[in-house]
A = this chain, B = another copy of it.
Amino acid sequence: MPSKYPPMGWNSWDCYGAAVTEETVRKNAVYMAEHLKEFGWEYIVVDIQWARPSAVDHSYEAFAGLTMDEFGRLTPALNRFPSAAGGAGFAPLAEYIHSLGLKFGIHIMRGMPRMAAHRHLPIEGSSYFCHTAADPHSICMWNPDMYGLKCELPEARAYYDSIFRLYAGWGVDFVKCDDIAREYPHCRKEIEVISEACRACGREMVLSLSPGPAPLEEAEHLKRYADMWRITDDFWDEWRLLKGMFEREEKWCIHAGPDHWPDADMLPIGALRQCEDPEERTHFTQAEQRTMMTLWCMARSPLMIGGELPKTDAFTLRLLTNAPLLAIDKESWCAHPVCASDTACCWIAPRKDGKGCYAAVFNLADEEQILSFPADALEAGCASATELWSGQPADGSLSATLPPHDAAVWQITF
């Protein structure tokens, strides 16, 4: 699986919901290529409902007509993705993204469209039919489109092979599979079949599982069958949710490593919810955004930007291009919290090259605090240290005066 480091990119959900269009995707890709690519950002991911012509916002529609081919495989809605005309699917868009030096990803729901089963359509590349693969009792609790598959049957594998064959032909590099990561135990087999179809399709793809929270006790299964998986339900720009992530990351931190990354979800920063209001910006304070970026990097979560990139403001751009901070993802390992309370938290992350470590302190309280990283926890000492948000060297102790919800993180040499 192609994720030596935590994947970095952009996803359409936070800014466009179900209503993302080709035009939007292209302009976000252009921005990434010009401003972010050099810092490691590379994936452009089209999120949910790209096969529904009627989508206009973040909501779903019961019994909506979805575009699909004669084999019950969803295809882009032509009114929203015109380059898909003539049966081209996402191939032209993927080709464009690739031409910018970036990678292309799509969202899928587990299962097949309900109407593919009700219509008794054939499964491409096989002698099976959709209605024998579909399980009429396996539905999603929050989206009305699909039936899960009877994964103990070869018909199910045939259907999943048929869609990954299609995606490989389109040039897809990243698949976010939804309605599955928290659906243990009943989706255990479906995860395995999807993972195997993905790996066998002839093109290297990152397989990302949503939504969370995935169950901690399934960590080993997830590590084996997915590149990344959500450890939380949808994450948005609310302090309550960000604060809650500290407990989640504490539980999951020991499970992060090459090709298996616990995913704290997208970064809801910059211009969000644009289909509802083009003036909308993140509700996070700057302090909270620093805290989020620091925690995601220390815990080595994948980094997927949620905001509309062409509207990126100067603060957000600096946040996304802090090279020493982003380096934590690649240079550190074995990170974990060393202390935690309702008002403060500290994390440590050794550097792989043995030349030092990273140490972070988080102010989780609603008032300013002076916080120090506990000296005892630096068992190998601290010859020098630089704080990565200010760029300033530490003088003596690892201590910082932090506004509410803010963070400091030091790069330490022994």
List residues of chain A with CB under 8 Å of any chain B CB. 62-63, 114-115, 117-118, 120, 131-132, 134-137, 139-142, 144, 220, 223, 250, 253-254, 257-259, 333-341, 348, 350-356, 376-377, 379-380, 414
Contacts and interface: CB of A to CB of B under 8 A. Distances in A.
A199 to B, nearest CB: 15
Contacts of A134: 62-63
Contact of A337 (B114, B117, B254, B333): B254
A220 B341 contact: yes
Given A131-B63, A136-B139, A250 B257 contact: no
7 contacts: A62-B135, A137-B140, A137-B141, A333-B379, A334-B348, A352-B379, A353-B380
Given A257-B377, A259-B376, 18 more contacts: A62-B131, A63-B117, A114-B118, A136-B144, A137-B144, A223-B339, A254-B254, A257-B376, A333-B379, A333-B380, A334-B348, A334-B350, A352-B379, A352-B380, A353-B414, A354-B355, A354-B380, A354-B414
A17 to B, nearest CB: 19
B139 A137 contact: yes
The 10 closest A-B pairs by CB, nearest first: A354-B354, A136-B144, A254-B336, A352-B380, A334-B334, A63-B131, A258-B376, A62-B136, A350-B350, A352-B379
Contacts of A339: 220, 223
B63 A377 contact: no
A98 to B, nearest CB: 27
Contacts of A139: 136-137, 139
A341 to B, nearest CB: 6
Nearest to A216: B251
A118 B115 contact: yes
A360 to B, nearest CB: 14
A134 B62 CA distance: 9
A237 to B, nearest CB: 28
Contacts of A132: 62
Contacts of A334: 334-336, 348, 350
A334 to B, nearest CB: 4
A169 B185 CA distance: 47
A8 to B, nearest CB: 17
A250 B216 CA distance: 12
Nearest to A131: B63
Contact of A250 (B254, B259, B351): B254
A117 B118 CA distance: 12
A134 B117 CA distance: 18
A144 B337 CA distance: 40
Contacts of A254: 250, 253-254, 336-337
Contacts of A62: 117, 131-132, 134-136
A64 to B, nearest CB: 9
Nearest to A340: B220
Nearest to A117: B63
A136 B63 contact: yes
A348 B250 CA distance: 18
Nearest to A377: B257
Contacts of A337: 254
A148 to B, nearest CB: 12
A339 B254 CA distance: 10
A257 B141 contact: no
